[in-house]
Chains A and B, each alone.
Chain A
Amino acid sequence: MQYYQFRAMNTDVLLVAEGPRAGTAIQAAQSFIEACERRFTRFSETSELAALNRSAGDWFAASPDMTALIAAALDCHRATQGLFDPSILPDLQAAGYTLSFDQLPRLSPDPKPASRLRTASSPFSAVKADPVNSRVRLPAGMQVDLGGIAKGWIAEKAARLMAGFVPVCGVNAGGDLFVIGLPSGQKAWEIGLEDPLDPARDLLVLLVESGAAATSSVAKRVWQQGGTKRHHLIDPRNGEPAESPWLSVTVFAPRAVLAETFAKALLIAGPEKSQSLLENRPDISFLAVDSRGQIWKSPTEMEKIYAFA
């Protein structure tokens, strides 16, 4: 088993591969991830995402990867009943998240803007993705941020790229992870579930056989705006950082984009709405941690996940 850790997408990325071609697999995955970061970041004026946002109102000749990612975002927007919404970018910026988090002042002197309902004129569902002609159209005035889906999408694509070289591999992009095959002598991958109240320790160790896991947390990417605590998970219903009794939600799903977007949607939804969100979704399981450290489990049977303290 070979491991390689590096920094990309403003987070730590861990690549794991087992097999004689593990080195090539890891090099390929790293190059792919770094290329994706350049393409999908909102913090560079030269990225494809920045060009797409500038073209809102017109058809944009997008790369196949951008078209596929926007199409996946539309699917996840529908599946989460609108709670995952990439068009919250203006609200995220109004909350103070205007720079890459590494560069963002943790104590912003800007006053907190008055509460307001979202001002987006069109819903994200009005976005058009045309994979046949590789083009995308955002409604006029819309600005999108792919930060809520891109890491998972990239992690799964990178893992599948590695799987072309090795039978066993995994990609962990800041907690959005995708694993293929089982390490030698192991019955499952061990995944530590970080305690949102004490990030240095694991709350649980989860045994996952395959597929994706992702966590959304309001304890990460936190800053002060005008004396008010802000975080990066925007509730698209009011354009404000979400208020939830849950501090973190970890989702297990067969696809990484589902895990990542449902983690956000469930955290925003909270305990009451989470059940309706997961109706007819036996493929999705979750664990949530509240502010008392209590763990909540999804009603769906978690056949492949075993947790122990």
Chain B
Amino acid sequence: MKLYRKFLRLWLAVSSFAGFLTGWVFLAHSAGPETVTMPDGATIVLDLPPIPSVDDFAAAESDAGSVQSFTFSQPSFPVRMRTGGS
């Protein structure tokens, strides 16, 4: 019985640690959200649907029913462009 208890404790400890490690590895390798960084450092989460091809633009515009919804982040402050070489 004593041996059984010891084994049970050891098994619980090992399986808890293994579960913790597995979760850690999984989270560490999961993809983060796509973001856009504005020049003043503010970060906005971007949520864009697929982009149609350039040939679709004129047709898509004339057929309002088929226009794909395209959501842009609109900050309430003016975005300042920057120039500094690339």
Contacts and interface: CB of A to CB of B under 8 A. Distances in A.
A189 B84 contact: no
B83 A199 contact: no
A183 B81 CA distance: 13
Interface on chain A toward B: helix, strand, loop, or mixed SS?
A: strand
A151 B86 contact: yes
A175 B86 contact: yes
Contacts of A216: 85
Interface in A1-42: 1-6, 10-11, 14, 16, 21-24, 26-28, 30-32, 35
A221 B79 contact: no
A199 B81 contact: no
Contacts of B39: 192
B30 interface: no
Interface residues of B, number: 25
Interface stretch (B1-9, B10-18, B21-29, B53-61): B53-61
A191 interface: yes
A138 to B, nearest CB: 26
A177 interface: yes
Interface in A176-234: 176-177, 179, 183, 186, 189-196, 199, 202, 205, 213-217, 219-221
Interface in B33-86: 36-39, 51-54, 57, 60-61, 70, 72-75, 78-86
A90 interface: no
Contacts of B86: 10-11, 151, 173-176, 220-221
B72 A215 contact: no
B85 A189 contact: no
A47 B60 CA distance: 29
A2 B51 CA distance: 16
B84 A199 contact: yes
Contact of B79 (A16, A194, A202, A213): A16
B57 A27 contact: yes
B57 A1 contact: no
Nearest to A101: B86
B51 A30 contact: yes
A175 B54 contact: no
Contact of A215 (B38, B73, B78, B83): B83
Interface of A: 1-6, 10-11, 14, 16, 21-24, 26-28, 30-32, 35, 151, 170, 172-177, 179, 183, 186, 189-196, 199, 202, 205, 213-217, 219-221, 248, 250
Interface of B: 36-39, 51-54, 57, 60-61, 70, 72-75, 78-86
16 contacts: A1-B79, A4-B36, A5-B38, A30-B51, A174-B86, A175-B82, A175-B83, A177-B83, A193-B82, A194-B84, A195-B84, A196-B84, A213-B83, A217-B84, A248-B85, A250-B83
